[in-house]
Amino acid sequence: MWKKRLEQIGPLSERWVEAAKDRVDNLVKPKGSLGLLEDMAVRAVAIREEKRPAFDKKKVVVFAGDHGVAAEENISAFPQEVTGLMVRNFIDGVAAINVISRSVGADVDVVDIGMKETPEDLQGLIRKNVRRGTDNMAKGPAMSIEDAQRAINVGIEMADNAYNQGFPLIATGEMGIGNTTPSAALFSALLPAAVSDVTGRGTGIDDDTLSRKINVIKKALEINKSRVKDPLSALATLGGMEIAGICGLCIGGAAKKMVVVVDGFIASAGALVAMKLNPHVKEYLFFAHCSQEIGHKVFFEKEGIRPVLDFDMRLGEGTGACLVMQVIEHAVKIYNEMATFEDVGIEPGN
Amino acid sequence: MWKKRLEQIGPLSERWVEAAKDRVDNLVKPKGSLGLLEDMAVRAVAIREEKRPAFDKKKVVVFAGDHGVAAEENISAFPQEVTGLMVRNFIDGVAAINVISRSVGADVDVVDIGMKETPEDLQGLIRKNVRRGTDNMAKGPAMSIEDAQRAINVGIEMADNAYNQGFPLIATGEMGIGNTTPSAALFSALLPAAVSDVTGRGTGIDDDTLSRKINVIKKALEINKSRVKDPLSALATLGGMEIAGICGLCIGGAAKKMVVVVDGFIASAGALVAMKLNPHVKEYLFFAHCSQEIGHKVFFEKEGIRPVLDFDMRLGEGTGACLVMQVIEHAVKIYNEMATFEDVGIEPGN
């Protein structure tokens, strides 16, 4: 499925971009004075190819997966069981992502794409487990190419569902104890970047754990060298289920001309794989915020991307992306509803 | 009135700050992982001195005034009449501030505090005109000390009204063709800073107009030198009615323990006067965004303030502040509604 969807993704329509820019410049305000809000509105309109798109329907898709490297290498501040405990909180509606999504008016899909154990009793959990956690990438590939493809397809399926339910705007979320480690490995391999430049403290590890984490990533890159040949094999070898799911959500969203908001550091790793598979994917993505995780800045610099917010967040779950879905909604409302200079009989100033 | 209110403003309660920090650190997320949202919630709770404050009621107060320096010195991209035309748009609900405030769920008060002419037919305009525009500060003081005090009092009255209507959260907005010029003059005098460091292109002036604008501000500072003795005399000599109104709104809001969101460059000039009159005012203010107007960065650096957004906006009206009122609302909802580690039986990671 994923290859077909990838082929469907082309550049934004220049005609739509130009038409949207024209309208923005005729709204009754000094040219360019709404800054980033103008750029966001133009791109959102061009993605949707609609004259007055509505973005009141929003959804965040939270993919949960576990990591062999976290189970075996002691690189996280939290034990692996916390993935499952947090997923329970998501289902119970008491985590940060639940509060923020309610507050911005977004639906939440919680997807088990690769949890080690799935509690039986979680009502509403979307059960799409591809495998029970990854293998330890410091000892071999995290997963097979086939598993990575299956996980990408789950992401695409989630985008398709959202599309069929009429959502024009979706966001990526994730939960997976230890998942800054595979993300850093992917950034190092795909940007590329030095491991120490893209490896940070995750949920809050100390100096010793950080240096162990850096060594584990270096080892993973070293022993898997011959396996990493292209974005897909990098994802399989160094990635995680939730990262592959996010990659799929970006591909699926772009293929359906949806606006996709990418959350933080881990989500950006998934988005990067999608962008490397088809560079046009980038045109459909908004990067919500610059994470406090040090490697995120390196990613933005290397890819020439300006994130919307800079809030020192490093939670994941999709929290930053929820905030930004709403900013996009506001930006497009301005585009849709403001009067033009002609409407009100004022001469444009420049 | 303003002196009495100033005296009522003390520091935030340390007890409330500590209690709020404690709760934030016990919410079920890695410590500090919500970054700025955590800081915003802590401060908002401490300002309100409420265990679970609600911020769904929001109001932006837009002060409109005219400027003698704009009428006589040709320093703006738009003619002075545009102040009145834009105020008409605010009343008609078709300007950017109307769309954004509707979109974030904020009320808008539009206040004529110093317009040169007030159209008779504008229903809903709050008529508090202190004087028919300022005098040209390049030829003498912009207004008398008494007028400045009256304009500050109008701002306080607007804060009091909002307080009496039950608003915990207010924002500053403004409209006044030419008002980056008095704002730059105030920044230069009060920060202090070199005129060329705080003078920018406003609504979009060309190089010639910019150098004229810089010279006009230098001249105004020079000929008014003996009059500028303290924050109030600086405001009277170099300021504007809407800037004085914003100063009053900051004072009145802080005195009533309301959360006050300061919009952009011009609003920051009004806030700076208030902060110079009583440094504790700052603790009640959130600065919405870093404007594209070059002097704004200088203000933030000199005052050690981190603005919430960096969107290259330079519209004024209160547009950026409206977005940020909603971010504060979200931050406090997270604070109020998230589960704690204890609630869900997870061990804090650090």
DSSP string, A177-220: TTTHHHHHHHHHHHTT--HHHH---TTT--HHHHHHHHHHHHHH
pLDDT at B348: 81
Say how far apart CA B240 and CA B243 lie, in whole Å: 5
Q: What CATH number labels A58-327?
A: 3.40.50.10210
Contact criterion met (CB below 8 Å) for B244 and B267? no
pLDDT digits (tens, 9 = 90+) for B274-285: 999 999 999 999
Instruction: For residue B38, count CB atoms less than 10 angstroms from its CB and return exposed for 0-12, middle for 13-18, buried for 19 or more.
Output: buried
* The two structure tokens encoding residue A30: 């000094």
**B85 → chain A, closest CA residue:** A346
Q: Cβ separation of B104 and A330 shorter than 8 Å?
A: yes
Domain boundaries, chain B: 2-52+335-344, 58-327
pLDDT digits (tens, 9 = 90+) for B24-66: 999 999 999 999 999 999 999 999 999 999 999 999 999 999 9
Catalytic pick among B317, B329, B342, B347? B317
pTM above 0.95?
A: yes
Placement of tokens 């977004």 in the chain: A106
pLDDT at B346: 82
Residues whose CB falls within 8 Å of the CB of residue A289, separated by 6 or more in sequence, listed in order: A263, A264, A307, A308, A309, A310, A311, A313, A320, A323, A324
pLDDT at B262: 98
Closest Cα to residue B284, out of B154, B163, B170? B170
pLDDT at A150: 98
Q: Given pLDDT bands bounded at 50, 70 and 90, which one contains residue A64?
A: very high
Contact criterion met (CB below 8 Å) for B224 and B139? no
> Residue range A11-24: average pLDDT?
98
DSSP-derived 3-state class of residue B235: helix
- Of the candidates A94, A323, A343, which has its C-beta nearest B327's C-beta? A323
Q: How remote is the C-alpha of A219 from its chain's centroid?
A: 26
ipTM above 0.90, yes or no: yes
B4: closest CA of chain A, how far (Å) = 37
* A350 has pLDDT over 60: no
Say how far apart CA B342 and CA A172 lie, in whole Å: 28
pLDDT digits (tens, 9 = 90+) for B170-223: 999 999 999 999 999 999 999 999 999 999 999 899 999 999 999 999 999 999
Catalytic pick among A73, A174, A317, A329? A317
CB-based contacts of A6-14 (< 8 A; 24+ apart in sequence): A6/A251, A6/A255, A6/A277, A6/A278, A8/A255, A9/A251, A9/A254, A9/A255, A9/A278, A9/A280, A9/A281, A9/A284, A10/A280, A11/A280, A11/A283, A12/A43, A12/A46, A12/A47, A12/A283, A12/A284, A13/A46, A13/A49
**CATH architecture for residues B2-52+335-344:** Orthogonal Bundle (1.10)
> Residue range A322-327: average pLDDT?
98
**B93 → chain A, closest CA residue:** A338
Active site residue A301: no
Count of all residues that appear for chain A in the document: 350
Q: What is the mean pLDDT of chain B?
A: 97
CA distances B313 to A184, A302, B203, B297, Å, are: 33, 25, 11, 13
DSSP-derived 3-state class of residue B126: strand
Q: Cβ separation of A29 and B346 shorter than 8 Å?
A: no
- Of the candidates B36, B76, B314, which has its C-beta nearest A311's C-beta? B36
Contact criterion met (CB below 8 Å) for B186 and A13? no
* B251 has pLDDT over 80: yes
* The two structure tokens encoding residue A46: 């061009």
* A348 has pLDDT over 90: no
